[in-house]
Amino acid sequence: MNRRRQMLKVVRRTLLQAVPTVLAILILNFALLKLAPGDAADVMAAESGAATEETMAMLRRQFGLDLPVLHQFLAYVGQIASFSLGFSPRYNLPVADLIGQRLPVTLLLMVSALTIALVIGIALGTAMALNVSRWPDRILSVVSLVFYSVPGFWIGLMLIVMFSVKFGWLPSGGSESIGAGLTGVDAVIDRLRHLILPASSLALFFIAIYARLMRAAILEVTAQDFVRTARAKGISEASVVLRHILRNALLPVTTLAGMHLGGILGGAVVVETVFSWPGLGRLAFESVLRRDFNVLLGVLLLSSLLVIIANMIVDLVQAWLDPRIELR
């Protein structure tokens, strides 16, 4: 249909526009990293405790850190252009492999956290709006305000203290039991058990946001004329809410969730650190400390691509949900 062709056009245009955006991001990231004091050789020397000027110069030459910055940049861009993210001397692995290992667990964490947040946030927001100014609304408003204002790492720590340390129900870190040799259903359950705490502590903040936005959106939509038209048809209150109110109130929430999908990596750094979750966030954090620029640039490049793709998905989903939006 016409609409499908328009969607394909949007995808193609987004990908074309991504090229200059990514290039700009590369320049910016590269410049920022070069401005940071110290390089990989400094860090390695500090870790070894004793390094001579000669070994450091040798390391720099080996990593290409002795070349002029522009030279380094052009070499990096050349690398990217040939679809290589370079090599990490620290991990002794190609950066692409390293990211390939870490990306799935991070995506798992992000997508589960956002899914939990959307489902619970929408449900809570709906419950609040349908009971507006009565006690369920008041109690949930306070609860969501707490979730909203307490930092994620603290919630994570408290969850660990409660469910891992005190009750011993759930593991306190990692993404799977290492060396347990689990297979099949057991392995899946083991993964889920590891996922619950980090995904929940990442989700709580977003639950609060979605619940509050959903509540406001429902109240706004409920006051609109077309809801009265729907009621005048004599359909049940449940149909009015589901078919007319919720469908419209979901529009702002999905928009925001899409934007969060692109930006959630930032929140993942903290949660991955608290829960020693072997994902991209922690990889990025460690690469900063180690001045492992190839890895860091790779992660940043990937997350900017993630933002671009997430934005495109938001556009498409919105156009699909809201017929008033014309795809151009």
The residue within the footprint of another protein, chosen from 104, 145, 226, 242 (CB under 8 A), is 226
Using CB under 8 A as the binding rule, the residues of this chain from 282 to 321 that contact another protein are 321
Distance of CA 181 to the CA centre of its chain: 29
| Cβ 136 to another protein shortest distance, Å | 16
Comparison of 246 and 283: residue with beta carbon closer to another protein: 246
- Residue 134 in the binding site for another protein (CB under 8 A): no
- Between the alpha carbon of residue 122 and those of residues 16, 45, 66, 139, 214, the distances in Å are 35, 52, 54, 16, 6
Kindly tell me which of 14 and 318 has the beta carbon lying closer to another protein: 318
Q: Identify which of residues 37 and 234 has a Cβ nearer to another protein in the complex.
A: 234
Kindly state the tokens that stand for 169. 């129900």
Pairwise CA distance, residues 284 & 277, whole Å: 12
Q: Which span (19-27, 177-185, 236-244, 275-283) binds another protein, by CB under 8 A?
A: 236-244
Interface of this chain with another protein, residues 237 to 256, rule: CB under 8 A: 239, 243-244, 247-248, 251
Should residue 133 be labelled a site residue for another protein when binding is judged by CB under 8 A?
A: no
**Cβ nearer to another protein, comparing 20 with 234:** 234
Among 231, 286, 288, 316, binds another protein (CB under 8 A): 231
CB of 1 to another protein, least distance (A): 11
Distance separating alpha carbons of residues 288 and 296, to the nearest angstrom: 7
Judged by CB under 8 A, the number of residues near another protein is 22
Taking the complex as a whole, the smallest distance from the CB of residue 227 to another protein amounts, in Å, to 8
User: Using the rule CB under 8 A, which residue among 35, 82, 323, 328 binds another protein?
Assistant: 323
Closest approach, Cβ 244 to another protein, in A, equals 5
Tell me if 327 contacts another protein by CB under 8 A. Answer: no
Which region holds residue 291: left if phi is over 0, alpha if psi is between -120 and 50, else beta? left
Question: Can you give the binding site for another protein, defined by CB under 8 A?
Answer: 224-226, 228-236, 239, 243-244, 247-248, 251, 321-324
